[in-house]
Amino acid sequence: MPLVSVQQLLDEAAKGGYGVGAFNVNNMEQIQAVMEAARETQSPVIIQASSGARAHCQDRYLYHMMLAAAELYPEIPLVLHQDHGNSFETCKSAIELGFTSVMMDGSILPDGKTPSSFEQNVEVTRKVVELAHDKGVTVEGEIGVMGGVEAGHGAGGTGRVTDPGQAEEFVARTGVDSLAIAIGISHGAYKFKSKPDGSVLKMDVLIEIHKRLPDVHLVMHGTSNVPKDLQDVINQYGGKLNPTWGVPIEEIQLGIRNGVRKVNVDTDSCLAITGAIRKFFAEHPEKFDPRDYMKPARDAMKKVVALRMTQFGQAGHARDYVPIGIEKMKQRYAAGAFAAK
C-alpha cells in the first residue's frame, strides 16, 4: 500500500468517533515499533517527523524507511506527516520529498521560539495550503501557542491558549484541513508538577472550538501521558528524572469525544526506549552490540504505542475502508470536495 492521505484517516475517525495517534520517529527501530503496534492492534497510523528528526535521519533515509514500512505492512493505512513545519520552505521540502501531510506551525516564527502575530500565521499557512492541496497533500495549522520545548521546537513557558473566535477566523481564511489548538498542554516530559485537572487543561476551550468548527478535525499536541512506571524504570537504572505528570488519558479521551482526531505522542516513546536501554545495560554490562539493546528498546516502545492506539480508539479500524492515494486526493481538492471545511 502506498503512503496515504491523513485527510481520509481523520474523516473516517470522525465517523467512528475515535482518535488516531501520530507518533514521532527518529530512526528505524522507532518506525518498526509503531508499525508492529499497528499490525498487532489493526490500527491506521500516522508516523510523523519533526524538522529535527529529518536532519537527524537525513531525508532520503527517512523517506525510504517509510516506503519500506508501507511495503512490509500493506494492510495498514499509513501517513507520513511533517510535524511542526517552522516555515513555508520546510513544508515545501516535505511535500517535494513525498510527505502526505504537513503541519505549518505559523504560531511561532521560523526560529521555532518566538510567537508570531495572527496575521503572519494566516499568511504563511494559507500559502502552504495552496501549495499542498495542489499536490493532494493535507495541511494542519496551529492557532495559539504551545508551551514547553521539544526537539528544539517551542516557545517555552506556559504558552498562549487558543481563542475560539480566532480559531474560527483562522480556518475560514486559510482553508486548513485540521487545527492544532493550545489548551494549556506543553511539549516535553516536564508538563505539570501535579496531575492536571480542568483548571489547568482548558477543556472548555476545546469544547467551544469544536462547537464552532464541528467539521474541522482538531489536533492535540504534547499529549504524552508520561506514566510513572516509565519514569521509575529510568530512575531505577541510573536516571535522574524529576517527578512530573503528563496528560491524563481520560482528558485525551474527552477531547476525542469533542472533535479531536489526531493525537500526538513523542515523550512516552522516548521514555520507554530509554528505560529499556538503561535496564539492559545494568543487567548486561558486558554487552555492546546495538542489536542486543535496541531489540528490548523497540519492544518497549511498541508496547506503549499499542496501548495508546487502544486508548485512542483506533484499534481495529485498519481495514474499515479502502485507502485513497495522493493522486486521487489531488483530484478531490481540485474539485473542491473539502471546500466546506
Pure H helices in 141-185: 164-174
Distances from the Cα of 215 to the Cα of 14, 19, 210, 212, angstroms: 9, 15, 8, 9
139 and 100 Cβ atoms separated by less than 8 Å: no
Amino acid code (one letter) for 114: T
Distances from the Cα of 191 to the Cα of 30, 123, 244, 276, angstroms: 23, 30, 7, 22
3-state SS, residue 213: coil
- State how far Cα 223 lies from the chain centre: 9
CA atoms within 13 A on the CB side of 321: 17
- Rounded Cα gap, residues 154 and 237, in angstroms: 30
22 and 265 Cβ atoms separated by less than 8 Å: yes
Pure H helices in the chain: 6-16, 28-41, 51-57, 59-72, 88-97, 118-134, 164-174, 203-212, 228-236, 249-256, 267-283, 290-312, 326-334
Set 83, 105, 266, 268: catalytic member: 83
- State how far Cα 304 lies from the chain centre: 15
Max CA pair span of the chain? 62
3-state SS, residue 103: strand
Residue-wise DSSP of 217-231: EEEE-S-----HHHH
Annotation marks residue 83 as catalytic: yes
Among 181, 84, 175, 180, smallest CA distance to 126 is for 175
110: CB partners within 8 A, 6+ apart: 86, 87
List, by residue number, the catalytic residues.
83
